[in-house]
Amino acid sequence: MEQAATIIMAILVLAPVVIIALGWIAPLVLAVVGHRRRWASARNWRILAIVWGCVSLALAIGMGGLIYAASRISRGYGSALGEARLFDPAAHPGKTSILRAACPGEVDLVFHDDSGKSYRCSSSNGTLVVPAGSLAISECRFTAPDVGGKPWTASIRFWNETNVAAAAGAVQELELGPPFLLAANMDWAPVSSKISLSPACADRAGNIYTIKCNRDGLPPMFRVLNAANQVVWSGNFEFG
């Protein structure tokens, strides 16, 4: 039933689009036939076909522009860790600063410096050497093992870049990243009486991160206990 409903909905949505996009063919055919048979209405059909065709062309250009813009935006949501240039402190002509994250494992940052250049800075022990000045951080990723040795990654891509002032020659704490506050958000749908859970991993500034286990690729698990400490519901956070 759900599949049939989806097909019907798709037909209802696409039918007007097809009519608008290709409907000019009908008056064009009538205009051609009327011209050959010398109909009095042939000129009206020709005008209608021209106007309809121009509208269809404008709609096609507009939809193409929207699709292009959407693809650019969705590409912007992707990770820039593999595209940004790796920052090399030895080759940097200016002064540098040190940022220390409260993470015992790997730390990756993507940022823009004062000149507007995009860089990626990585560390295996939480200590990052960055150019001194104002850094606009657009993405960060933290990876560390749990008590069982499995590596977990917490990552975030900022919609609005987070500014960090890195003083020249100074060593300062990176306010982003761990320690994290882990919680589960619960939503209840009154109509269907369904309860949904979603994980929330927030840093000290309240930024929400996406977390995952790198070794097995499995999403985080959850268990819901009642007042008697009995498990009444368990599963995985399938969508993050």
**Two structure tokens written together for 150:** 């499995």
Whether 194 and 118 share a structural domain = no
- Output the CA angle 70-73-74, nearest 5 degrees: 85
Positions of E strands within 113-175: 118-123, 127-131, 133-145, 151-166, 171-173
Share of the chain above pLDDT 70, in %: 80
Query: Could you say which of 51, 77, 103 is where a domain stops?
Result: 77
Whether residue 205 is found in the same domain as residue 140 = no
Residue 104 has pLDDT above 50, yes or no: yes
> Which strands, in side-by-side order, build the sheet including 96-100?
127-131, 96-100, 171-173
- 186 backbone dihedrals φ, ψ, rounded to 5°: -115, 130
Q: Among 12-21, 26-35, 51-60, which is the least confidently predicted range?
A: 12-21
Q: How many domains does the chain have?
A: 3
For the whole model, what pTM was predicted?
Answer: 0.56
Task: Write down which residue in 44, 77, 110 finishes a domain.
Answer: 77
Report the alpha-carbon distance of residue 101 to residue 129 in Å, rounded: 11
Alpha-carbon distance 103 to 139, whole Å? 16
CB 163 within 8 A of CB 175: no
| Token couple for 191 | 């109509």
Question: Please, what's the b/e burial string for 57-86 (b: 16 or more CB within 10 A of its CB; e: otherwise)?
Answer: eeeeeeeeeeeeeeeeeeeeeeeebeebee
For 203, the domain range is: 181-236
**Same domain for 164 and 97:** yes
Q: Which range is least confidently modeled, 31-35, 64-68, 206-210?
A: 64-68
Structure tokens at 213: 């286990």
pLDDT, one tens digit per residue, over 37-63 is: 778 787 888 888 788 878 878 877 877
pLDDT band of residue 3 (cuts 50, 70, 90) is: low
| Three-state SS at 91 | helix
Among 154, 173, 192, which residue terminates a domain? 173
